[in-house]
Amino acid sequence: MAPLLSLNPTNLRLAALTFMLLLAVLWTLSANSNNSETAFDITSPDAPVLAKPDNDVPPLSATGVVAPSSLPSPSQVPVDPFVPPPELNPPPDAGDLLPPDLLPPDLLPPDLLPPDLAQPPSPDGINIMPSGFEPLPTPPPNPDNLPPLPTHPDPSLPPPPEGDLGPDGLIHILPVQDVSTPENTTTGSGKGRLLIVYAYAESEAARANLAYFVEKGLHGAADFVFIFNGNASAASLVPALPNVRTVHRENTCYDLGAIGEVLRDGDLWKQYSRFITMNASIRGPFLPVWSAGTCWSDLYLNRVTDKTKLVGMTLNCKPRPHVQSMIFATDAIGMAVLLDPAQAVAASVDDQFGKSTDPVGLSGCYNSHNSAVHAEVGTSGLITAAGYEFDAMMAALHSHASPEEFCTANPDAGDLLFDGSYFGSNVHPYETVFIKANRNIDGGLLTHLTEWHMSMKTTSFDSCGVI
């Protein structure tokens, strides 16, 4: 009987191939059988029990996120006072999203980080976000590479009129007068000669005021004339300087009349273009330390303009608005008006101190107190009658547009140079450069300021320059 299967090499190879095909068929049938089993939900009661992870992470739902039933109760979640509770501000799908207080710190946005987890700046100054990313770089200030705007006008271009748009693209405003150096002071060369006239009548207060002025007020950018009225021995306090002279005369005509007489003598006033007249009832100059380099006479003269021809220290609204006469500043135009006897009568008006036929300004000789006050009150009217304006240094005046508006708003603002009469206080000398020093106004302030400034080594020679 012949064997069923020959064991020759060809038959062996066929048998091996058949066996391998059989194994492949069996493997395929086994895989299909496993895939045909019924799927189950891991949240179903019939689902097999899964081992609890060691890190206590709640099991996932069928959607792949933490199931709501597995989240800790609100009492178990630490309350962050900077983050609102999830139930007060729920996201759209509260059951499928972790609330901010359950997110790991490295996934929290920076504004929700607790203070103790806030990321400090890195050593090189770059702030690293909690996620580990650097913030986006700040865009360059000029992304279009536009040429920078000019910061200074081209000196080769002619300056345009004030406030006009220049060819360099800038709006030009005329510079403020620089009074920080002697060469640029308004009392310096090329600005017109300045004459300062100081009227003196003997008294203890006047002597102290003169001594202070000689020490702190004299400078080389003006000529000074000291008028000593009557038996005054204080002339010895005035130093012998090329630009300083003294005049002795009888004590007549009061200060305004005496000053006018000296200015008219030999047409002295015509040799000058700017003037300051003052008397020994005031003490100064007093300038704050931060104004070092400023010339006191410039502060008054800089307020004299094409429109304003009389500047004083304070304003008196009674009987009508006028600048008080203890110090005046003006120019040649203003002085011509003040010395004109014809205008002195034409501009005079009746008041309780005099009649409209009595002169005002610097043109008369005033032999009574009332006539001198009438002349003082009328001096400002003399300026306005000539078509000009007057001004004063006191700050309260400049809270209104004009002296007339100030007096309309403050009809009881008479002579403010009495203790407590300046709206409940006193005019400070840093406000007006000088202080009325013969009326016991704030004696403590006057004493201390005098001592402090006399102890300072600076004088007006340092700040006012030379002619």
Is 133 inside a domain boundary? no
Is 96 inside a domain boundary? no
pTM of the model: 0.61
CATH number at residue 412: 3.90.550.10
Is 229 inside a domain boundary? yes
Tens digit of each residue's pLDDT (9 = 90 or more) over 6-62: 556 667 777 777 777 777 777 766 655 555 444 444 444 554 444 444 444 444 444
Place of tokens 């007093």: 286
Q: Which two tokens stand for residue 63?
A: 């959607």
Q: Which two tokens stand for residue 64?
A: 């792949």
Tens digit of each residue's pLDDT (9 = 90 or more) over 155-197: 444 443 433 333 444 333 333 333 333 333 344 333 589 999 9
pLDDT band at 290 (very low <50, low <70, confident <90, very high): very high
Q: Which two tokens stand for residue 137?
A: 């770089």
Rounded-to-integer distance, Cα 138 and Cα 291, Å: 43
Cis amide bond preceding 321, omega within 30: no
Residue (of 53, 43, 94) closest to 71 by Cα position: 94
Is 19 inside a domain boundary? no
Q: Do residues 307 and 389 lie in contact, with contact meaning Cβ atoms separated by under 8 Å?
A: yes
Number of domains observed in the structure of the chain: 1
Q: What angle do CA 280, 396, 382 make, to 5 degrees?
A: 60
Is 105 inside a domain boundary? no
Question: Which range marks the domain in which residue 396 is found?
Answer: 182-464
Is 21 inside a domain boundary? no
Q: Do residues 392 and 403 lie in contact, with contact meaning Cβ atoms separated by under 8 Å?
A: yes
Rounded-to-integer distance, Cα 191 and Cα 347, Å: 31
Is 115 inside a domain boundary? no
How long is the chain?
A: 467
Rounded-to-integer distance, Cα 85 and Cα 385, Å: 80
Cis amide bond preceding 59, omega within 30: no
Is 207 inside a domain boundary? yes
DSSP 42: T
What residues are paired with 274 via a beta bridge?
A: 194, 331
Tens digit of each residue's pLDDT (9 = 90 or more) over 208-263: 999 999 999 999 999 999 999 999 999 999 999 999 999 999 999 999 999 999 99
Tens digit of each residue's pLDDT (9 = 90 or more) over 22-32: 777 777 666 55
Which amino acid does the sequence have at 38? T
